[in-house]
Chains A and B, each alone.
Chain A
């Protein structure tokens, strides 16, 4: 029997040489006359170990990494393909603490299966949710999702079931399901990992959404920065259609659902749902006024469900295992799990799926292993470029939508970017305004003009020109942007700025306020 060796085809693993490693292993095995089968899986999300090579043994999969092509002969010499020891070995993959402590629901297959194999997908619980949904009417599917407590994972945390219910009851024969895969926040990569590592999960979730609300057409709006995900999704859709999971007769239900991937074109603001709809319609990605809500008048003016990749990918399991199963994870009104993404200056960056309620300290230290540089972690930006900089004093606040909102921060898409004590917070605050200026759609004045003025005011504060007056001006400008912008881009860009000012005033040349 041949030996199965897993080498990821995830773009993160490829970015650090997984393709060369795969070729080296195949060549070395051929030279030695060994019968091996190489499976190209998704990433396990232990990125500091990528390229992570796994060998299937009777005891489970053994992990070796990070493997470079020049390590390959020595690995074979050590008999790694027969469970032999080598300095790059980490024992059973599932027992690596980073992975062992996780609660992987949405990511339960990612890194384990061959992403494009329908047989693998079905062998690991795939399509169970869809087959359950096929036997239910729309209202019953919506009720299951509502009862699960699932909230939008894109950042706004709106209850998914309530959104679906609005579309279900909206009039008209033409409705759409749109997946927002414009994962533009720095520090986030969970959507990419899932689309590359388990694309059928997203396809299944979207199809269930289509059955639930009565939509026959779905679009995945994917950012153009994800070429690998684009190719994987296109192949997966073609295979799913061929196998009857998509098309005119979904799973023998007699109902139809078609799915298409559309590429964005490098505009961050198109992650805002109404700008995304404009872009899908072939226009400039300009934010729309709300109301009307997209659930009533969305894509091409029709009722439209818009959900993030992570929200839709959670749905198959909710249908398969029931609302209560999912709801039991988490705390307060934040139910289920969130795939947190550990990025920036960390020793062990990667993906950690955990129930809500975990703290930043646990994520950064227990999972992330502290900073990569070995210096103290000074600040963590949570929730992307519009998220607040959280100082060490707030690392013990549980990650829960409400608890974060209460301290003027947001969990967003679950991205964490850690900075060590060499970070210049004034420069990062300036960057937040600069980014907003670059990416503003230009429709509303607070965002379009405010962001440019913000860069200028911060420059003057840093240069100590009339500092007190400029600080007052910056405060007023942030207030205008927060309350007067049309969407979250201008409306939240002040978060990183204000949090940097509040927690790290010395970086702006201001003496810290000491407690009385």
Chain B
């Protein structure tokens, strides 16, 4: 489980990402995406590395990281589960699913279960409105998610052996 600081290997990974993208026009979002794809979050140690490479202030980089809902500034659980809160899902029982997700996991939005298996995030539309209500697990979208299906999904995630 990563703590609040990154290992030398992760710092090297961050530096490699920054080197790979720094020449791109408007490189900051691609850099942040690449870091989060690698590490699961954007650690504070990444900020000065990016700032130096892009010739921007640390405040500017931090400002961008904090603006976007997608970027995490704390390490997630082994799986990130997003539950759609938007209107189409609301019309198909989404509010009950939100409540069920929080209650059954015993956590609120933006929190991680004590066993480190699942982080719960709200999301505003997954573009799966014809199969509402929808959730996203990693890069997989799931539709027509009843509370029972949600429980089966979570059970499956908990059973997965951490890599």
Contacts and interface: CB of A to CB of B under 8 A. Distances in A.
B129 A349 contact: yes
B125 A372 contact: no
A115 interface: no
Interface stretch (B4-12, B131-139, B154-162): B131-139
B68 A262 contact: no
Contact of A225 (B32, B33, B88, B126): B126
B67 to A, nearest CB: 4
Contacts, number: 152
Nearest to B33: A263
Interface stretch (A23-31, A131-139, A414-422): A414-422
A285 interface: yes
B131 A417 contact: no
A187 B54 CA distance: 38
Nearest to B61: A282
Contacts of A187: 86-88, 129
B92 A189 contact: no
A460 interface: no
Contacts of A350: 130
B16 interface: no
B63 to A, nearest CB: 6
A268 interface: yes
B27 interface: yes
Given A15-B134, A418-B91, A189 B129 contact: yes
A260 B26 CA distance: 12
Nearest to B68: A265
Interface in A129-161: none
Given A185-B125, A265-B69, A417 B87 contact: yes
B48 interface: no
B142 A15 contact: yes
Chain A interface size, as a band, is 35 or more
B69 A15 contact: no
Contacts of B89: 186
Contact of A344 (B63, B87, B134): B87
B29 A225 contact: no
A507 interface: no
Contact of A439 (B124, B130, B134): B124
A420 B90 CA distance: 11
Interface string A89-128: 0000000000000000000000000000000000000000
Given A265-B32, A267-B69, A281-B26, A186 B124 contact: yes
A192 B127 contact: yes
B69 A266 contact: yes
B29 to A, nearest CB: 6
Interface in B11-44: 25-30, 32-33
A76 interface: no
Contacts of B110: none
Contacts of B86: 186-187, 385
Nearest to B139: A227
Contacts of B77: none
Contacts of B30: 262-263
A477 to B, nearest CB: 21
Interface string B79-112: 0000000111111100000000000000000000
Contact of B88 (A16, A344, A351, A431): A344
A186 B140 CA distance: 19
A423 B39 CA distance: 41
B70 interface: yes
A12 B139 CA distance: 13
B79 to A, nearest CB: 15
A185 B124 CA distance: 8
Given A184-B125, A349-B130, A12 B143 contact: yes
Contacts of A345: 91-92
Given A184-B125, A262-B29, A268-B124, A15 B87 contact: no
B119 to A, nearest CB: 14
Contacts of B132: 343-344, 349
A85 interface: no
Interface in A215-236: 223-228
Contacts of B113: none
A165 interface: no
Given A186-B87, A265-B68, A428-B87, A12 B28 contact: no
Contact of B29 (A282, A343, A351, A419): A282
B47 interface: no
A264 B30 CA distance: 9
A47 B131 contact: yes
B90 A284 contact: no
B52 interface: no
B88 A343 contact: yes
Closest 5 CB pairs of A and B: A282-B28, A186-B86, A15-B143, A47-B130, A265-B68
Interface of B: 25-30, 32-33, 54, 63-64, 67-71, 86-92, 123-132, 134, 136, 139-144
23 contacts: A12-B128, A12-B130, A14-B140, A15-B140, A15-B144, A16-B143, A45-B130, A47-B130, A47-B131, A186-B125, A187-B87, A189-B128, A189-B130, A192-B127, A228-B139, A262-B30, A265-B32, A266-B123, A279-B29, A280-B26, A285-B67, A349-B129, A438-B124
Given A189-B130, A268-B124, A284-B64, 12 more contacts: A11-B127, A185-B125, A186-B87, A186-B88, A186-B125, A187-B129, A188-B125, A224-B33, A264-B68, A265-B70, A282-B27, A417-B91
